[in-house]
Amino acid sequence: MSTVGTIESIWRYPVKSMKGEQLDEAFVAFAGLMGDRLYGVVKGHGNPGFPWHTGREQASLLRYQPRYKHHSATLKPEHLAAAQGMAPGINPLYPAAEQFAVEIATPEGELYNLEDGTFLEHLKTVTNDQSLSLKFTQRSQYDCRPLALFSLQLGAILTRELETTIDKRRFRANLYVDWHEDKPYEIELVGKRLKIGETLEINVLERDPRCKMITLDPDTAAANSEIIKHVSQAHEGFAGVYGAVLVEGVVKAGDPIQLLD
């Protein structure tokens, strides 16, 4: 078992397609990082297989900042240690739905409570789309896989190739990784099993195919189409990897990443 890198930072996105928040630690369940993408905005028209209203349709969504009102309660189950002490794989009790209450700051500085309906009315007015609705679940609404990983090494390569600073936040990963080797090592880990920190184990499933979202600046929402063109041409359209959780556990910034396979 060799150590191949460390966790540089941990991010989650309380509302799908809105700003993320950086965490010191969080519980990672089979369904993904606790508190990640629990809310999403759904379109009442379009493709029912992918019903989400995202930055693809409204780039300014990336400038909305959601915050959990009970932040500490959303990081890990209250009785996690008791559950894990009983036997491997015991499913801990998640916080009640009301513990995941969210407030959202708009780019203009207005503050809304997500649960009382006023934010949704605001969004309908901004988009002129009365079909929008809000979807909540305690177990994450990611696009494809429970975890997304992206390395600092790949970010540095894209910065050099594009000759402009590429902010890692464009890639909206859960785990940003610093590999011990000076290359985007995640590409070589597809199909491999990793242990992160004391307990968490994941399988790296596949490379992450990219879309318009990476063209959007995480602060201004301004689009740079050259980024997606370059990733498509120079990196086969992929950047980062997806993972599935094999053993649940808490991940912390600075945790070592060990290769098990």
Ordered by start, the domain boundaries in the chain are 2-259
Cite the DSSP H helix spans in the chain: 80-86, 118-127, 152-162, 225-234
- What is the structure's pLDDT at 210? 96
Q: What is the largest CA-CA distance in the chain?
A: 55
- What is the structure's pLDDT at 144? 83
Whole-angstrom Cα distance, residue 214 to residue 203? 24
Asked whether the beta carbons of 112 and 125 are under 8 A apart, the reply is no
Return the bridge partners of 102, or none.
68
Angle at 190 between CA 140 and CA 158, to 5 degrees: 85
Q: Tell me how long the chain is.
A: 261
Residue 82 tokens read as 């008791």
What is the amino acid identity at position 67? R
DSSP, res 237: T
Residue 2, H or E segment: strand 2-12
Which residues lie below 8 Å from residue 220, measured CB to CB, with a gap of 6+?
A: 63
- Please report how many Cα atoms fall inside a 13 Å half-sphere around the Cα of residue 44, on the Cβ side: 8
Helices 152-162 and 225-234 cross at an angle (nearest 10°) of 110
From 122, 103, 115, 37, select the one nearest 65 (Cα to Cα): 103
Torsion sign, CA atoms 223, 226, 230, 233: positive
CA distances from 199 to 88, 251, 259 (A): 10, 8, 13
pTM of the model: 0.95
pLDDT along the chain (261 residues), means of 10: 95 97 96 96 90 94 97 93 82 91 96 93 96 91 91 98 97 98 94 96 96 96 97 97 96 98 71
Torsion of CA 216, 159, 145, 66, to 10 degrees: -40
- Domain 2-259 in CATH 2.40.33.20: yes
Count of CB atoms within 10 A of residue 258's CB? 16
- Please report how many Cα atoms fall inside a 13 Å half-sphere around the Cα of residue 123, on the Cβ side: 30
